Amino acid sequence: MFSLILIVFVLILIIYAVVGSIQIVPQAHAFVVERLGTYQGTWGVGLHLKVPFIDRIAQRVSLKEQVVDFAPQPVITKDNVTMQIDTVVYYQITDPKLYAYGVVNPIMAIENLTATTLRNIIGDLELDATLTSRENVNTQMRATLDVATDPWGIKVNRVELKNIIPPAEIQNAMEKQMKAERERREAILRAEGEKKSAVLRAEGHKESMILEAEANKEAAILNAEAKKEATIREAEGQAEAIMKVQQATADGLRAIKEVGADDPVIRLKALEAFAKAADGRATKIIVPSEIQGLAGLVTSLKEVAAVSKEEPAQEDLNPEA
C-alpha cells in the first residue's frame, strides 16, 4: 500500500514538472530565464520548454510602450520662484536582460532622474521663460533621460510637463497681468473700431460729394447740349425761312418774266405797292425816282380827266353860248 502511494506521488510530480516546463510567451512580451541562478537566455514570443527544477523564469517583461505619471516636484527658477511641476514619461523596454539586471526598481530610478534633470533645466530659466518654453524643456529632458536609461535597457520616447503650478501670489499677479492685457486689447480693438468707423464715414461723405459733383457736371453738360441744340434748330429754322422767302421772290420774278410783263405794268404794280405803304403809320416815305415820275403822270391824267368832266357841265349851264 505504501509503495502504491509513493508511485502515485512520483507520477504527480512528474506530470507537474512536465506541465510546468511548457511555457508560452505572449505577444509583446519577453521572459528572462535563469539556469541555476545564472542568466540562461531571453525567450521571445512562442512555445518554450524549460528544464524542470533547474531553469526558472527570473522576470516577465512587457515590451509595449508604458506611461508613468510622477508626482509634482518642487523646483526653483533662476529668479528664485518656487513652483511645483509634475511630469509624464513615456518609455519602452528594449533589452529585457539589461532591464532585469541593470538597476533595482527602474521606475523609481527614472522618477529620481526626472526630478534632478528637471531641477537642473528649470534652474537656468526665469519664471516667464519656464511658462513659455515647455517644448524646449521637454526636448532637453527626453534627451537626458534617454542617455541615462540606455544602460538599463529602457528607451525614453517622450517627456511632457503636465502641470506647472506657481505660488499663489504669482498666480494672482499673473491674473492681474492677464486682466490688464485683456483690457488693453479691448481698448485697442475699440479704438480700431472707432477709427474704421470714422474712415468709412469720411469715405462715404467723399463718395457722396463726388457723385453729387458728377451729377451737377452731367446736368450742366446736358443743359449746354440742350441750349446748343435749340440754338442750332432756331438757326436752321431762320435759315430755312430765309431760303423760302428768297425762293418765293425768285419764283415771283420768274413768274413775271414768264407772263411777259412790260415796263408800264411793273411801274403800275410798284405804284400800287407804294400806295399800300402810304396807308401805313410811317411818317416818312422815301419815293423812288421812277415812282415819282409815274406819280406825276398819274396826277396829270387825273387833272385832264377832271377838266374834261367840268366842260360838259358848263355847256349845260350856258345853252345859249
Q: Return all residues near 287 (Cβ < 8 A) that are at least 6 apart.
A: 274, 295
| Cell numbers 410783263: residue | 261
Q: How far apart are CA 153 and CA 198, in angstroms?
A: 69
| Cell numbers 528637471: residue | 118
Return the percent helix, strand and coil in the chain, to nearest 5.
65, 20, 15
pLDDT tens column, 134-192: 889 999 999 999 999 999 999 999 999 988 888 888 878 878 888 898 889 989 999 99
Strands 66-69 and 22-25, by their bridges, are unpaired
Binned at pLDDT 50, 70 and 90, residue 262 comes out as low
| pLDDT score at 315 | 46
SS3 289: helix
SS3 42: strand
If we measure between CA atoms, which residue out of 39, 20, 18 comes closest to residue 30? 39
Q: What percent of the chain has pLDDT over 70?
A: 78
| pLDDT score at 154 | 94
Q: Return all residues near 48 (Cβ < 8 A) that are at least 6 apart.
A: 22, 23, 24, 25, 31
- The answer on pLDDT for 257 being more than 80 is no
| pLDDT score at 13 | 74
pLDDT tens column, 84-139: 999 999 999 999 999 999 888 999 999 999 999 999 999 988 888 888 888 899 99
Question: Using an 8 Å Cβ cutoff, are 172 and 81 in contact?
Answer: no
- In eight-state DSSP terms, residue 279 is T
Q: How far apart are CA 11 and CA 15, in angstroms?
A: 6
